[in-house]
Amino acid sequence: MNRLWSPWRSAYIDSFSENASGNAGCIFCDYPLVNRDEENLILFRGEHAFVIMNLFPYNSGHLMVVPYLHTKELEDLSPASSAEIISLLAKSKKALSDALSAHGFNLGVNLGKAAGAGIDDHIHFHIVPRWNGDTNFMPVFADIKVVPEEIVKTYQKLKKHF
């Protein structure tokens, strides 16, 4: 049997036990409080929301737009926050098009664990770039997603577009 080593998966798995035990804070609240944007993969800060790269991406360049307000409810967002989130999704789409030449995009929000939210107590919006032919047999046969570019390299490509 061949093995594909993906050490980042252990950090993802461990994050669930940390959150369940109450030892970890909310990264979407904590990360904007410190001035370590590159380390925390924050690409852009707005007035009501920010853009951050997903550390456990579905594809290279997987971004999230996150309001500063800690809420899990869509209806808790102010009109100004909602408008800025849509604006930042559009800005993210343009940056991903310009920096990575994406052919298409998946946009979405998972509300609650049952809907697939990895962090379900702080709402966040995903934008995942897609390319013609970017799927392969790995997710189908081996439940493995191959992400073709190292995240720091993708961060550097995207940062100049924000």
Annotated catalytic sites, by residue?
A: 124
Give exposure, 36-49, as e/b (b: 16+ Cβ within 10 Å).
ebeebbbbbebebb
The token pair at 36 is 């370590």
> Rounded to whole angstroms, what are the CA distances from 159 to 41, 68, 92, 126?
9, 20, 11, 17
b/e burial code for range 90-122 (CB count within 10 A of at least 16 → b): ebbbebbeebbebeebeeeebeeeeeebebbeb
